Structure 1
Amino acid sequence: MQQMNKKDIQTALNERKGWQVWWRLLRPHTLTAAFVPVFVGTAYAGIEESVDFTLFFAMLLASILIQAATNMFNEYYDYVRGLDTEHSIGIGGAIVRDGIPPKKVLQLALSFFAVAILLGVYICIVTNWWIAVIGLISMAFGYLYTGGPYPIAYTPFGEIVSGLFMGTVIIGISYYIQTLQITGNIIYISIPVALLIGAILLANNIRDLDGDKESGRKTIAILLDHNGAVAFLTTLFLSAYALVFIYTLIDILPIWSLIVLFSVPKAAKAVKGFKQKGSPLQMLPAMKFTAQTNTIFGFLLGISLLLQLFIPVQW
């Protein structure tokens, strides 16, 4: 198959110059993986306690900055290791296609981490300094995800690590800073969100499967091959919806939470798009549908908790 040049790829992806280069560097469609957990954890806390909105916004901004910085580390280290070229199809490209100096990307990522640390200090002063330990561990994994001698993103554990830290850990912290406690229920509720955050990475790895295989990566998508990886993605979607249904039956979540089913069409489009396979460029819409599934699912889950707060409903 003939390889597309840089200009053809930019045209196909509708990539524009100017401020949009910096916007793409943030990989905005992945930032919902930072917003959703904070929203869900805070909304669940709101059922039990009054919400401190200053803490909420500090946590939200810190999470978004850490996610954006992680994306930039990914951009930088994939370039340094020669995995990203001007022919690569993906959400990155600020370095290889837009010409942003690699060191500037790295410096921006570190500056985002620095601001996140300052926000974390404020959160710790108001709540508990143990949050600092958890936050620093999360930031370390954000860096090690693509940095360091053995990047997590190049192993079969990328989906697990991203789901754990961006899902369970952030939901737990968002709940804790409002209530100063951690309950079994908040851990349970975090699992469907963690599954869908892991699904975003899996979708990315399905799209990049052939290129990642050539570069020596050992992602889950490579180990399962295309059809197996799509089946696994389907399982993640089904598991997330099944858990929400079970939680409503055993009163961990309110009946309102079944509104997450409105996100099913996006998940179905993602699976259908990946089943058709095609080139990485042709699979981009399926990847976007996966990210949209997480966004809509998480937003509706948070809304359902707010609805239960104002309009309590039981089975």
Structure 2
Amino acid sequence: MSTGSTNDIRASLNERGGFHVWWRLLRPHTLTASFVPVFVGTMFAVIHQSGTIAFGLFLAMLMASILIQAATNMFNEYYDYVRGLDTEDSVGIGGTIVRDGIRPNTVLYLALSFFAIAVLLGVYICMLTTWWIALIGSASMLIGYLYTGGPLPIAYTPFGELVAGFFMGPVIIGIAYYIQTGVFTGEVFAISIPVAICIGAIMMANNIRDRVGDKENGRKTLAIILGHEGAVAFLAVNFIAVYVLTILYILTGLLPWWSLLALISIVHAQRAVRSFSGKKTPVDMMPAMKGTAQTNTFYGMLLGISLLISAILG
């Protein structure tokens, strides 16, 4: 590809050099998918802990979750490059290897170092709670690697959204709640479902955007199976399920009335679905990707804040 074409893509994606190269490698718009579950799980625990919280455990869990997510993004960058799936034209990636010239092994080693730090944080958490957390954490890290690594990457199958949603929803929320309270309940699992759906929606939006290129490279994602219009409709149904469940939980007392605040995020969900309509190129679908990520961010943050308000006001 010509230098001029590369510069055009950089301009359309607002890519800059310097520190921005490494910031893009983290894919920061996806990191809320690791922050939100820890925040929600911890705030739900606060309600049942009379407003108290173990800040050390919260911060350790939060940092470990973010590091694992960032490392997963780096493995994605590395293995998609190794398999020849990413080119200078690719949209939705960090572009650190194909456009900025960073050595692939540098990306791989950085991902492994992030995993190593997450392990140390996990040891700290286990020392203060239970070593069973180590088993669950190890499984989460393995899934993070296998999502795009290994002989059959999960991201290349129709199960990417389901796996990502489960491990970053019920699993992370469950751990965040457990390390604060020492128990895990059906209520915790229930409130994790809307968050899991939002996280899965981020993966779905990503696959809708990359559907054509993924199909050419032999992937069989859910977006490829459903087609563009079908996948967008499925995304809309998922968003509807998030808000229906939220209202149902409020009416049954599982969530406080303050959780109506989370419904404000509907505007981002609507914008995301509308932004996919009639769009054909990955660049044109970037606003839809942004809207989907914002839905997760605002829904999760507002839900967590509503739980905190409820705990403070009693």
In the superposition, the TM-score normalised over structure 1's length comes to: 0.97
Which residue is equivalent to 1:106? 108
Which residue is equivalent to 2:150? 148
Would you say the 8 A contact 2:77–2:93 is kept in 1?
no
Distance in 2 (alpha carbons) for counterparts of 1:113 and 1:264: 34
- Of 247-256 and 87-96, deviating more is 87-96
- Of 88-97 and 147-156, deviating more is 88-97
Distance in 2 (alpha carbons) for counterparts of 1:167 and 1:71: 17
Offset at residue 261 of structure 1 (A): 1.1
Would you say the 8 A contact 2:129–2:182 is kept in 1?
yes
Distance in 2 (alpha carbons) for counterparts of 1:137 and 1:310: 35
Which residue is equivalent to 1:47? 47
Distance in 2 (alpha carbons) for counterparts of 1:90 and 1:173: 30
* Pair 1:66 & 2:68 matched: yes
Which residue is equivalent to 1:193? 195
Offset at residue 8 of structure 1 (A): 1.1
* Pair 1:9 & 2:9 matched: yes
Offset at residue 281 of structure 1 (A): 0.2
Distance in 2 (alpha carbons) for counterparts of 1:214 and 1:248: 45
Aligned counterpart for 1:164 among listed residues 163, 166, 189: 166
Distance in 2 (alpha carbons) for counterparts of 1:154 and 1:163: 16
Aligned counterpart for 2:235 among listed residues 220, 233, 236: 233
Moved over 3 A (4+): none
Distance in 2 (alpha carbons) for counterparts of 1:89 and 1:32: 20
Distance in 1 (alpha carbons) for counterparts of 2:102 and 2:170: 34
Aligned residues: 311
Which residue is equivalent to 1:211? 213
Which residue is equivalent to 1:302? 304
**Deviations 1:167-192 (CA, angstroms, capped at 9, x unpaired):** 11000000000001000100000000
Which residue is equivalent to 1:31? 31
Distance in 1 (alpha carbons) for counterparts of 2:113 and 2:68: 10
Distance in 2 (alpha carbons) for counterparts of 1:91 and 1:243: 32
Would you say the 8 A contact 2:161–2:201 is kept in 1?
yes
Distance in 2 (alpha carbons) for counterparts of 1:193 and 1:137: 20
Instruction: Indicate the RMSD between aligned Cα atoms, in angstroms.
Output: 1.3
Distance in 1 (alpha carbons) for counterparts of 2:245 and 2:124: 35
Extract unaligned runs of 5+ from structure 1: none
Distance in 2 (alpha carbons) for counterparts of 1:54 and 1:228: 45
SS at 1:83 equivalent: coil
* Pair 1:259 & 2:261 matched: yes
Opposite residue 197 of structure 1, the aligned amino acid is I
Which residue is equivalent to 2:248? 246
